Each structure stands twice: as C-alpha cells, then as structure tokens.
Amino acid sequence: MKRLLATLSLLSGSALTAAEITPPVAVLGEMVHTLSGPAIKDGLVLMRDGRITYAGPAAGRAVPADHRVLRARVVTPGLIDARATAGLSGILNQAQDQDMLDRSAPLQPELRAIDAFNARDPLVTWLRSFGVTTLNTGHAPGALISGQTMIVRTAGRSVEDDVVNPAAMIAVSLGGSAVSRAEGPPGGSAKSPGTRAKAVAMLRAELIKAQEYARKRDVKDETKRPARDLRLETLARGLDGSQRFLITAHRQQDILASLRLAREFNLRIVLDGCADAPLVLEEIKASGFPVILHPTMARASEDTENLAMDTAARLAAAGIPFALQSGYESYVPKTRVVLFEAAVAAARGLGFERALAAVTLDAARILGIDGRTGSLAEGKDADLALFDGDPFEYTAHVTATVVAGRVFADGPR
C-alpha cells in the first residue's frame, strides 16, 4: 500500500507528507556539484527525513539498505528562483488566477503573498519539473509598493507546509512600472504617481509616516498609542531592518534613487532588475547591496532597453553579489525558468560555476536561507536537481527533482 501511495503521489503531487510516503533516498551522480566545495566525480548524496546526511565521494561509502537509490549523470542543489510571481500568477492567465498585482492603490505594503499563494497551481509544478525547489515569490512590479514576497518550496502541498519565510521582502517599484502616464497602458491606478520624482516623493512621505507611527507605538502609555495600521506596521519593519525592501529599478537614475533612499532611511535593500547596472557598477558595489538581476533573456524595451545578456558576467567581474530570477511577464505561461536564464548567462561570459551559483548558493545567501539550502552538505535540506547531462546544455533533461527529501519525477524535462 505504501508503494502504491508513493507512486500516486509522484504522479499527482498529492499532499501526503514525506514522513508518510518517502523512504530515505540515495542519489548516485557521475558528477555532483555540491557548491560547498569542488565538484565530485562519482559522488553520493544520502537523505533521510528531508535532510542531507552525507554528500561526498561514493567510493568507500555503502548505501544503507533502506534507501531508495536514484542515479543521474549530473546532480546539483535544487535551483532557487530569487524573484518570481508563480503561485500568485497562475498558468491559465485568467482573472481567477492572477493575484500578483492589485491596482486599487499605488501603496499597498500590507498585502502578503502568503494570503494568495496557490501551492497547487500547475505553474509551480512546471517550475519544479525543471529542478526549481525554492521560490522568492509574491507581488509583481507595477505599483509603487505592490505588497510582500515570501520564500516557499515547490513541493505542492499547502502554503503552510511549504513556506520557508512568510514575509521575506517588501516589493517596491521605481521608474516606468510605478508611474501612470496619460499615454501609457490602461489599468493603472488613478492615484498612481505620474513621474519619477513624484514616485520617490510619495515613497519618502510614507516612510516618514511609518517612522512617526513606530515612535508613537513605542510609548509607554498605551492610551497614547495609535490604532494599529497594517500598512505602517509593514513599513516600520522595513525601517527597523527586520524586513528588507526589494526595489525594482532598471534605469540608472532609478537605481541611484534607490541607493539614496537607503542612505536617507538606513534601509536594508535588494536591488531588482537593474538593466542599467553596467552604467552604475561603482555605485552599486560601494553600497554593498546585492542585485537580483533581470532575466537574461528578457525583452529590451522602455526601462529595460539597455539590458544585455552579459550583464551577469559584468556584475561578477565587479564583485557585486547577485542572483538570477524568472521575474514577471504578462503573457502565457507567465513565467520564465531560471535554469535557462542561467544557461544563457553562462554562455555570455559568466561561466558554468558562477551561473550555477547564481541560481543556488548565491541566491540562497541573498535570500538569507543559505543555512538550510543552496548547497549540498550534511544537515541541509534535501533539495536536489538530477540531470541526464550538462544542466546548461539544451539537449539535457531534468530527470527528477527532490524537494525536502520528496522525489518528483515530472520529466524528463
């Protein structure tokens, strides 16, 4: 019966837990990229109870008899999509599965991705089939503050079971995606800012309100405290550093405005997009803030007209920490796949090792989850991607994805 349940779960992505149906797993790889050290030829990864118990050479290490054995040409850590909307933007591209952007107001930091994330959307399964095990997903660019992101696994159980960080970052947009111009596309909020300067002024004013709110909430006399305000509470977490701002900024003036706001309010920020990054590399490097770079193959137009496929390589050469993302596109199937974005970046000067790190360990570091995922090491979450060839070669396939010890054979993809 257990074998039957396990088979049905692999086919349907059911919500049965790892403890109920998943035996310990051993993965034998002709080449294992642990990201915690050099790649291992003829490597072995052992997993039990959703955690890695061994990652190293297979020679001299017996596979325990109770382990299910998988084999692959190449094994990597599970891939991490550092900026996505999957789970809020669904595969149907219809109103009922499009919760990534609420246009009723330009400033809505109180909106939480966890309240809208659909763990069972086929788009989440689709990403998992390409080796993606973790998403930083949530509200899309398109409003001055569109909401919050969350970090979640792609196991497809429920949001409560799969969530890693329910309130990861506050999603801010500067530039074209935040303003509403008369000649622009329909659908923007009537209260949206009309220029870049207005957008920054509105954001600055809201942060000042949040500063005052936080000060008043801290007074000893409870009768003098203001009523709870979800919007200002969220911004107050950004101001005290407990929650970072994820600022989408492509034009160089928007990148510089983001850095200026960070200095003014002592914010912890992550830069998102950054098509013009090569124009302000020194300023980004001096700030110390990381970048979640636009998808390598994104379309160049308007704010992103200066993007290039070699920008990742230029960030690496400048010593700026960065990760890659699927981002958000307003067309079916509503998502890119970071595996392919990394492959193109690798071919355009980044190289295999740095490209793989950009969607595994480096992404985990930027998201603050490298203590549990992003590399293959004892004690870390059992998140793996198995390939039948070079992961960045277009003829290769993902043969299985392991999420917290659960094996998904959705492919080969």
Express each pLDDT in 178-232 by its tens digit: 887 544 444 444 467 899 999 999 999 999 999 999 999 988 888 888 999 999 9
403: domain CATH number? 2.30.40.10
**Mean pLDDT, the chain, integer:** 91
Residue type, 49: D
Residue 18 has pLDDT above 90, yes or no: no
- In a shared domain, residues 331 and 254: yes
Number of Cβ atoms within 10 Å of the Cβ of 285: 14
11 and 88 within one domain: no
* Cα angle: 195, vertex 199, 204; to 5 degrees: 150
Q: What is the mean pLDDT of residues 133-148?
A: 96
Q: 307-316: per-residue pLDDT in tens?
A: 999 999 999 9
Q: Rounded to an integer, what distance in angstroms lies between the CA atom of residue 274 and that of residue 277?
A: 5
Query: Quick one: average pLDDT of 31-59?
Result: 97
pLDDT at 253 over 80: yes
Residues 269 and 346 in one domain: yes
Q: Please write the tens of the pLDDT for every residue from 378-402.
A: 999 999 999 999 999 999 999 999 9
Shared domain for 358 and 392, answered yes or no, is: no
Q: What is the pLDDT of residue 188?
A: 45
Whether 303 is covered by a domain: the verdict is: yes
Sorting pLDDT into bands at 50, 70 and 90, what band is 333? low
Q: Which of 154, 113, 117 is nearest to 135 (CA)?
A: 154
Question: Per-residue confidence at 94, pLDDT binned at 50, 70, 90?
Answer: confident
pLDDT score of 297? 92
| Predicted confidence (pLDDT) at residue 332 exceeds the cutoff of 70 | no
Mean pLDDT throughout 134-140? 97
The CATH number given to whatever domain includes residue 237 is 3.20.20.140
Residues 297 and 388 in one domain: no
Same domain, 150 and 168: yes
Structure tokens, 377: 């090491």
Residue 328, pLDDT above cutoff 60: yes
Residue pair 47/29 in contact (Cβ under 8 Å)? The answer is: no
Note the pLDDT of residue 238. 97
413 lies in a domain? no
Residue 77: φ, ψ to 5°: -60, 155
Task: Give the pLDDT confidence score for residue 4 in this predicted structure.
Answer: 39
Verify that 122 and 237 share a domain, yes or no: yes
DSSP summary character for residue 62: P
As for how many domains the chain has, the answer is 2
Q: Is 198 exposed, middle or buried (0-12, 13-18, 19+ CB in 10 A)?
A: middle
Q: Report residue 3's pLDDT band, with 50, 70 and 90 as the boundaries.
A: very low
What whole-number distance in Å separates Cα of residue 6 and Cα of residue 156?
Answer: 15
66's CB contacts (< 8 A; 6+ apart) are: 23, 24
Q: What percent of the chain has pLDDT over 70?
A: 91
Which long-range contacts (C-beta less than 8 Å, at least 24 apart) are formed by 202-209?
202/106, 202/107, 202/144, 203/107, 203/144, 203/145, 203/172, 203/174, 203/261, 204/261, 204/264, 206/107, 206/145, 206/231, 206/235, 207/235, 207/238, 207/239, 207/261, 207/265, 209/235
> Taking 90 as the threshold, does the pLDDT of residue 410 lie above it?
no
Tell me the one-letter amino acid at 91.
I
Secondary structure of residue 224 in the 3-state scheme: helix
Q: Which region, left, alpha or beta, applies to residue 138 given φ > 0 means left and ψ of -120 to 50 means alpha?
A: left
Would residue 260 count as lying in a domain?
A: yes
- In the chain the first and final C-alpha atoms are separated, in Å, by 29
Same domain (yes/no): 47, 184: no
The predicted structure's pLDDT at residue 191: 62
**Is 385 within the bounds of a domain?**
yes
CB of 34 closer than 8 Å to CB of 22: no
Secondary structure letter of residue 277 according to DSSP: G
Same domain flag for 396 and 359:
no
pTM over 0.85: yes
Token duo for residue 341: 């974005």
The pLDDT score that the predictor gives to residue 9 is 41
Per-residue confidence (pLDDT) for residue 280, from 0 to 100: 98
Q: Mean of the pLDDT values across residues 140-146?
A: 94
Q: What is the pLDDT of residue 220?
A: 83
Is the confidence at residue 96, as pLDDT, over 90?
no
pLDDT of residue 290: 98
Averaged over 252-272, what is the pLDDT? 98
163 within a domain of the structure (yes/no):
yes
Average pLDDT score over residue span 100-129: 95
Contacts 24+ apart (CB under 8 A), 368-373: 368/165, 368/168, 369/134, 369/151, 369/164, 369/165, 372/164, 373/77, 373/78, 373/80, 373/133, 373/134
Residues 245 and 223: their CA atoms lie apart, in Å, by: 31
2 pLDDT tier (thresholds 50, 70, 90): very low
Q: What pLDDT does 224 receive?
A: 84
Per the model's pLDDT, the better-predicted residue between 5 and 263 turns out to be 263
Most confident of 48-52, 98-102, 331-335: 48-52
CA pseudo-torsion sign 365, 370, 373, 378: positive
Residues 192, 43, single domain; the answer is no
Structural domain harbouring 325: 79-367
- In the block, tokens 């509105």 appear at 202
Whether residues 385 and 363 fall in one domain: no
* Domain match, 140 and 60 both: no
Q: What mean pLDDT do residues 58-80 have?
A: 96
pLDDT of residue 177: 82
pLDDT above 50: residue 1:
no
Using DSSP bridges, classify how beta strands 291-293 and 322-323 pair: parallel, antiparallel or unpaired.
parallel
Place of tokens 């017996």: 62
